[in-house]
Copies of this chain bind each other. A is one copy, B any other.
Amino acid sequence: MLLRDITGLVDGKLENSDPDVNITGVNTLKEARPDQASFLANMRYKIQAETSHAGILFLDDKVFPGVSRPIIRVVDPYLAFALLQRHFHPERQADGLRHESAVIDVTASLAEDVDVGPLVMIGKRVRIGSGSRIGAGCVVEDGASMGQSCTLHPRAVVSASCELGNNVILQSGAVVGSDGFGYAWTGREHLKIPQVGRVLLEDDVEVGANTCIDRGAIGDTVIGRGVKLDNLIQVGHNVRIGAYSVIAGQAGFSGSVVVGRGCQFGGQAAVAGHLHIGDGCKIAGKSGVTGNLEAGGTYAGFPAVPHRLWLRVSAIMLRLPEMWEKIGRHIS
């Protein structure tokens, strides 16, 4: 791909290079060869950028002013990298292959071009939209449905009656629609409560490997448009996660939690049952949320408090031995 075309694709400004130079791929700053592009998005890697052999670098306006090597100035180097990488690695298209070992119920309705891999099970009345690809060993239970251009990686499970929108991706081992954790104590035993709700994944949702999303107890568990869930996340029954929220690995949401739009959760963060997290909240990794959180805030710690407070508290906490000693000396 010519630098001229790359510059157009990423909406940037080419400097110090002939626009007809050819670039064949993308690589890290360290590994990139002269025919490859690279990018500097994290200032941790600034020194690597200086010594990189990449043929072209995506940089924002702030770094290396007046540099003489070939660069493309962009607003967001990471986005430029993403766009170019997507150009070189387009998504695989469905071609309508159905492996003979797949078990597809006669009442299932699949678009012509849907791929079905080996050893897949597709149940009764399942509907699958055009361009979707079902990887080896997946199970799509009775009455489940998905829209167009979904990708199920090997061994994902979509349980009975759950619904996926368009462009949904399930990584390997993801479970959509396991029973929620609901029991009533009879005085002698825990009585299982039938979990009769569904899971709804709206368009453009991605679910990480071995992540589990429980079906609703009565109503549905709903993951909003464009939400990205990393690996090994637990989403309890009747949770609702607002559009475009991003959740890192091993986070956990207890039953009936409501998360607003555009929130971010760090890894291993958790939210106790029935709480509301306002739109646009950022929750640091390992936080434990024990109360409702107002929109737009940044929170950390356990119990989760505003991030600035937690930073101060955790810094002072490390000086507790010193405090303890001072107090012991002066206060009897």
Q: Which of A61-69, A125-133, A247-255 contacts B (4 or more CB under 8 A)?
A: A247-255
Given A79-B185, A153-B178, output 11 extra A-B contacts at Cβ < 8 Å.
Answer: A76-B185, A82-B193, A85-B193, A119-B119, A169-B179, A173-B212, A175-B231, A210-B212, A212-B231, A249-B254, A327-B331
| A103 interface contact, C-beta 8 A | yes
Q: Which of A52-93 contact B (CB under 8 A)?
A: 76, 78-79, 81-83, 85-86, 88-89, 91
Asked if A121 and B274 sit within 8 Å, CB to CB, the answer is no
Within 8 A of B (CB), among A124-146: 135-137, 139, 141
Q: Is A171 an interface residue (CB 8 A)?
A: yes
**Contacts A121-B137, A244-B190 known; A230 to B234 CB distance under 8 Å?**
yes
Distance in Å: Cβ of A312 to nearest Cβ of chain B = 5
CB distance A194 to B286 under 8 Å? no
Identify the 5 closest CB pairs spanning chains A and B, nearest first: A82-B184, A178-B209, A89-B194, A139-B154, A234-B249
Cβ-defined contact, B321 with A320, below 8 A: no
Judge whether A7 is part of the interface by a CB distance below 8 angstroms: no
Q: Decide yes or no whether A228 CB sits under 8 A from chain B.
A: yes
The interface bits of chain A over 230-260 (1 if a CB of B lies within 8 angstroms of the residue's CB, else 0) are 1110101000000010101110101000000
Please tell me which one of the listed residues B155, B189, B320 contacts residue A157 in the complex, with CB atoms under 8 A apart. B155
Contact A155 B153 (CB under 8 A): no
Closest B residue, CB atoms, query A44: B274
Q: Does A202 contact B (CB under 8 A)?
A: no
User: Which among B153, B185, B212 is the interface contact of A208 at CB below 8 angstroms?
Assistant: B212
Looking at the complex, which one of B86, B121, B181 makes contact with A228 (CB distance below 8 Å)? B181
Q: Is A101 an interface residue (CB 8 A)?
A: yes
- CB-nearest residue of chain B to A245: B190
Residues of B within 8 A of A252 (CB): 232, 249-250, 267-268
